[in-house]
Amino acid sequence: VTDDRLAAVGELSALARILPRLPGSPGTLLGPGDDAAVLAAPDGRVVLTTDVMVEGPDFRREWSTPHDIGFKAAATNLADIAAMGARPTGLLVALTAPPDLAVAVLEGIADGFADACAALAPGCAVVGGDLTMSPTLTVAVTAVGSLDDAQPVRRSGARAGDVVAYAGSLGRAGAALRLLFAADGTEAVAALRRERPDLLDEQLAPRPPLAAGPAAAAAGATAMLDVSDGLLLDASRIARASGVVLDLDGTALDHDVRAVAQALGVTDEIARSVVLTAGEDHGLLACFPDGAALPAPFRIVGAVVAGTPAVLVDGVPPAETAGGWDSFAPRRD
């Protein structure tokens, strides 16, 4: 048995195994292998975002395969680029790994990045990165995107009379997380993965419809973000930035509520709370002028009305915002 630990293999040999797993893309003028990468900036502007995932608070290797870890790190960053109405063009990936980590794990993470780019943002690729040893496995990603002559879609442009629309699943990532927390031990997690692979993927390797981001910009979206912290909280960010009320349509969420109720075996009331507050859906919440042709798979989930910034469901503050939960309390944005 050969010693596959990072400390035994060494950084250079590990990189020599990882880099071939990361295909380039047409927009990559110069990819990994030099001091820095060179990307095309088609319209002269560059869209940038960054996000760090740390083992423990952000992912667990008892739940996530190495492929999942890479896939999700890519997906969350690609979603932030898409939520600006931009097209992702490149990812920089900085990894820190414990010396006893198998290089095979890093290969799996690289495969997850490559597969997420292919599935969620064709034409985007990992164009560079860094690898160093540390006691904690962390995956830090910087994503680059192009607006392709469109204007960036900010959170602040929603106007009374707009429709509120969503592209993606709601609550299913949160439902999967509940099942993972309830699963006792590796065997139970393995059984969950066997029995509910699609549901678990919503949490561990999400596939939000990110091509809808640039399509929304082209269709005249007035405000947009990706739902990372729960529908109510993220909707409140648009409401606050735009100075409007987002009134969500409860019946428009019924399909999501039923899916979560079925997945968890809970009442519709509990499922509705998961749909409204559980995060990590990473679908796109956007506002459009009334009558705009919504790009697929956007569906109308509410309306923008004038008033003191707030999020309502069927015209009233939802129960989830009572009882101490304050959608406008200072939070990590």
The binding site for Mg ion (CB under 5 A) comprises 80, 226
| H-helix segments, 54-129 | 66-82, 103-120
Residue 31: left if φ>0, alpha if ψ -120 to 50, beta else—which one? Answer: beta
Supply the DSSP string of 115-144, one letter for each residue: HHHHHHSTT-EEEEEEEEE-SS-EEEEEEE
* Alpha-carbon distance values, 21 to 97, 201, 206, 248, 255 (Å): 18, 22, 21, 43, 39
Q: Nearest distance from residue 49's CB to Mg ion, in Å?
A: 8
Token pair for residue 333? 């944005």
Least distance (Å) between residue 2 CB and Mg ion: 42
Q: How far is CA 213 from the centre of its chain?
A: 12
Nearest distance, CB of residue 256 and Mg ion, angstroms: 20
* Beta carbon of residue 224, minimum distance to Mg ion (angstroms, whole number): 10
Q: How far is the CB of 179 from Mg ion (least distance, A)?
A: 25
Measured from the CB atom, the residue of 226 and 281 that comes closer to Mg ion is: 226
**Minimum CB distance to Mg ion smaller for 201 or for 226:** 226
Cα separation, 28 vs 38, in Å, equals 6
Please state, in angstroms and rounded to a whole number, the distance separating the CA atoms of residues 53 and 71.
12
